[in-house]
């Protein structure tokens, strides 16, 4: 069946789509099955999306219950889940009394809202970082720090500059014409690359001194994945009591339904005025009901703490494999990068797939792991067995 689906996909899918690694049919928890019945341990979770794994009863029930009530109302109206969604995100981010939420349908759309927010400062320049990733729509693409992704679509949105991720470069680039600095606390697509120590706090200080917005893209790192609700909340990232001006969310907050959000704090919450932004599906009762249920279950089941604990267990387990191929294991919680001593990450991923393990090559030399936050001892044990064999096969 797989080959037949692949052939059909190849005939109709846009040329921009890669050849599918597998044709997946159903899943349960951290396991997923393809159309030929082959079972996989899913340590990618739809790229940090399926926080509760596959077919979690909380998600299934939330979808069914909300679909039976009301699924869509347009933004001339609101609904109980849309209100609860915004309140939940304000609470979990700690955005405080002034916190506000714009609901979006994807990461890129939430980033687009952040770009418009930055334009509302009246300043022309937006600083982003080399090798950063913020999405594929035109505004998000302009922010993305990979020239190869941007170049086929130039000209880009004017005013965006990509600087190296170092403090001297940021200091030199800052000025009264900078609207915003946007950054990822851990660069996920670049290969799970954390910011240098103290960088976030320094960026907060510099943006404040220059009256610019600090926008933190937590699309991949948010919703508990790194062992805090949001990566900027880890001790030592920001000064106690400090917040970004805007936090961009998507991926894990919906547990698999397409949903995103821009959360603002303080004065940034007053930049958009009536009618300046909107979307047909944004704040849709179905998506927001599922997000509220997913975030509620993460909280109820202590999955933020589980992510922290399982992340350490997983990192230690990988180090203990003592593979000669592995030079570094990095990341936080359940967002982990395994650095290899040669560019064979693609081979490791292929060898893993053959053995029934789904992982990802974030770069030629980096394997990325982003399992669901629900994983336990048995999943980790199984992962280590399969991963060890995959490393050996690729060495
Ligand atoms: C995935 C991702 C995006 C883009 O989100 P989409 O939902 O794919 O548009 C933006 N920023 C980061 C950090 C991401 O990981």
In sequence order, the 6+-apart residues with CB closer than 8 A to the CB of 53 are 27, 28, 29, 30, 42, 45, 372, 374
The pLDDT tens digits for 369-380 are 999 999 999 999
106 alpha carbon, distance to own chain's centre: 10
Ligand 1 near 112 CB (within 6 A): no
The pLDDT tens digits for 165-208 are 999 999 999 999 999 999 999 999 999 999 999 999 999 999 99
- Residue 131 is predicted with a pLDDT of 98
CA of 395 to the centre of ligand 1 (A): 31
The reply to whether omega before 155 is within 30° of 0 (cis) is yes
Q: What is the mean pLDDT of residues 46-69?
A: 98
Rounded CA gap, 241 and 303, in Å? 24
Binning pLDDT at 50, 70 and 90, where does residue 159 land? very high
CA angle 165, 169, 172 (to 5 degrees): 150
Q: What percent of the chain has pLDDT over 90?
A: 99
What is the distance in angstroms between the CA of the first residue and the CA of the last residue of the chain? Answer: 31
The residue annotated as part of the active site, out of 34, 187, 251, 383, is 251
Q: What is the mean pLDDT of residues 292-315?
A: 98
Report the DSSP pairing between strands 357-358 and 178-183: unpaired
Reported residue count of the chain is: 395
The residue annotated as part of the active site, out of 133, 199, 230, 383, is 133
- Residue 315 is predicted with a pLDDT of 98
Q: What is the mean pLDDT of residues 47-69?
A: 98
Return the percent helix, strand and coil in the chain, to nearest 5: 40, 20, 40
- Residue 287 is predicted with a pLDDT of 98
CA of 48 to the centre of ligand 1 (A): 10
Rounded CA gap, 389 and 233, in Å? 36
- 146 part of the active site: no
Do residues 357 and 8 touch, judged by C-beta distance below 8 A? Answer: no
What's the whole-model pTM score? 0.98
Average pLDDT score, the chain: 98
The pLDDT tens digits for 78-108 are 999 999 999 999 999 999 999 999 999 999 9
Secondary structure letter of residue 245 according to DSSP: S
Q: What is the mean pLDDT of residues 96-121?
A: 98
- b (16+ CB within 10 A) / e for 315-332: bebbeebebebbeebbbb
- 34 part of the active site: no
- Residue 247 is predicted with a pLDDT of 99
The pLDDT tens digits for 308-331 are 999 999 999 999 999 999 999 999
């Amino acid at each position: 069946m797989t080959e037949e689906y692949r052939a059909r996909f190849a005939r109709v899918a846009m040329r921009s789509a890669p050849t599918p690694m597998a044709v997946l049919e159903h899943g349960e928890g951290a396991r997923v099955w393809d159309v030929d019945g082959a079972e996989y341990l899913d340590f990618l979770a739809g790229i940090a999306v399926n926080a509760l794994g596959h077919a979690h009863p909380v998600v299934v029930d939330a979808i069914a219950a909300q679909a039976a009530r009301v699924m869509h109302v347009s933004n001339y109206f609101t609904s109980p889940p849309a209100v609860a969604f915004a309140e939940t995100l304000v609470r979990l981010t700690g955005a405080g009394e002034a916190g506000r939420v714009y609901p979006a349908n994807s990461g890129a759309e939430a980033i687009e809202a952040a770009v418009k927010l930055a334009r509302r400062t009246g300043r022309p320049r937006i600083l982003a970082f080399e090798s950063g990733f913020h999405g594929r729509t035109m505004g998000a693409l302009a922010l993305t720090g990979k020239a190869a992704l941007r170049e086929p679509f130039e000209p880009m949105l004017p005013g965006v500059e990509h600087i190296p991720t170092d403090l001297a470069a940021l200091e030199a680039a800052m000025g009264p014409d900078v609207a915003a600095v946007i950054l990822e606390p851990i660069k996920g697509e670049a290969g799970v690359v954390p910011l240098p120590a103290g960088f976030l706090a320094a960026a907060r200080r510099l943006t404040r001194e220059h009256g610019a917005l600090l926008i933190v893209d937590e699309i991949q790192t948010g919703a508990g994945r790194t062992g805090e609700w949001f990566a900027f909340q880890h001790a030592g990232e920001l000064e106690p009591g400090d917040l970004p001006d805007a936090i961009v969310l998507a991926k894990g907050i919906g547990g698999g339904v397409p949903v995103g959000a821009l959360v603002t704090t303080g004065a940034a919450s007053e930049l958009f005025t009536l009618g300046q932004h909107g979307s047909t599906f944004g704040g849709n009762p179905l998506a927001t009901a599922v997000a509220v249920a997913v975030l509620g279950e993460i909280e109820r089941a202590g999955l933020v703490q589980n992510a922290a604990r399982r992340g350490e267990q997983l990192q230690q387990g990988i180090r203990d494999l003592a593979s000669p191929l592995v030079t570094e294991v990095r990341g936080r919680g359940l967002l982990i990068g395994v650095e290899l001593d040669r560019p064979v990450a693609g081979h490791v991923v292929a060898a893993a797939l053959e053995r029934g393990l789904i992982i990802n090559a974030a770069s030629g030399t980096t394997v990325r792991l982003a399992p669901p936050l629900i994983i336990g001892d048995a999943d980790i044990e199984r992962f280590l067995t399969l991963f060890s064999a995959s490393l050996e096969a690729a060495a």
